[in-house]
Structure 1
């Protein structure tokens, strides 16, 4: 084989290997960062990266709260950071943060990550739900970190079903009961016996009560 043909074959082989590597890498990233489908919000600010951010509501329609926020927060810096607060601008929602174990601040270790939502992980509970929002809407979520500051992104509002069931609220109130429609007379109302009339009977001739007619006859 001539040198030119060898060079062409080597170049073609290198191109195939490069494409295969990129494809494998993409599949790996999808498996890690998009493990929850469909594709969810992600953002990077300085040393902080937030992936798979969602606002997850109750699985049953008509039950408004509580809701939760689910996300993974990465810290690529050399020092730890705390998530001091999570807010939902434009709503009256308040978010209560709790680490996976114990009490205190929610710490993202240097070179590590914190998973929010799901069994055994940290939690971010929206006690009063997400007023004014319905499933399918996009909600701005702001993570306030001790060093990086505010990190904002848009997160979809989804119910705790299918892919999101394992990350949804752990407190599931019963759906509101529907009141039956009243039929007929109230059960406490008694019917008058047949043949009984209300009030004193009248005299058939004068129209006066029977008692009055008898009294007049006696005089």
Structure 2
């Protein structure tokens, strides 16, 4: 691994720890009082600050499937803002935004509050053709479009959905190449052709990564 990629991996690991810490206190908290100064790239435009941005791909190399954008969006203004879109300039990727579990409508960042994108129960941003649009180890430009502030761009590390990043990666994870459903061999004297106890359920279905 090159020195630059090692630095990128270390920085990305630091990012995910920051995300995990913020997940418990995201929406509704005063962003000005969080006092968090992470050692990673962040950007501030007007009242909006974005940090901990990552593009998280499939955990298995060569598997086609969606990717996910994970980030924390702060709103230090006096009025709420909605996240209207996320784009990846230079790619054909489309990103589907979904509010937090139990929510409806657009993703809303409350005034003097924050929203975590990615992770169980949080808002999500799914890159529907993520495998074709991104490459692990790159720094991908990601643009967040806010209702009042407009476009806010940041460079996000591209990492696979493994280890610390698994909890924030895509929820749809296809089976890796070469895997196929398997069945238990019938015991000696059994034909395995009957119903009930003789039938073997196939295994190896696609697993899902937790949000």
Q: Same fold (TM over 0.5)?
A: yes
Tell me if the contact between 1:40 and 1:155 (Cα under 8 Å) persists in the aligned partners. Answer: no
Whole-angstrom CA distance in 1 between matches of 2:82 and 2:55: 21
Segments of 5+ residues of structure 2 without an aligned counterpart are 1-13, 21-37, 181-211
Could you say what the CA RMSD is over the residues aligned between the two structures, in angstroms? 2.4
Q: Which residue of 2 aligns with 1:28?
A: none
SS where residue 18 of structure 2 aligns? coil
Q: Is structure 2 residue 66 aligned with structure 1 residue 83?
A: no
Q: RCO higher in 1 or 2 (8 Å CA, sep ≥ 6)? A: 2
Q: Which residue of 1 aligns with 2:123?
A: 122
Aligned residues between the structures: 149
SS where residue 157 of structure 1 aligns? strand
Per-residue deviation, residues 117-144 of structure 1 (Å, max 9, x unmatched): 0001000001111525311001000000
Tell me if the contact between 1:91 and 1:132 (Cα under 8 Å) persists in the aligned partners. Answer: yes
Q: Which has the larger radius of gyration?
A: 1
Whole-angstrom CA distance in 1 between matches of 2:54 and 2:122: 15
Q: CA deviation at 1:175?
A: 1.5
Alignment of structure 1 residues 174-213 onto 2, 5 Å: 174-177=175-178
Q: Which residue of 2 aligns with 1:141?
A: 142
Q: CA deviation at 1:40?
A: 4.0
SS where residue 35 of structure 1 aligns? helix
Task: Give me the TM-score of the superposition, normalised by structure 1.
Answer: 0.63
Q: Which residue of 2 aligns with 1:72?
A: 72
Tell me if the contact between 1:56 and 1:168 (Cα under 8 Å) persists in the aligned partners. Answer: yes
Q: Is structure 2 residue 46 aligned with structure 1 residue 46?
A: yes
Whole-angstrom CA distance in 1 between matches of 2:119 and 2:151: 24
Task: Give me the TM-score of the superposition, normalised by structure 2.
Answer: 0.65
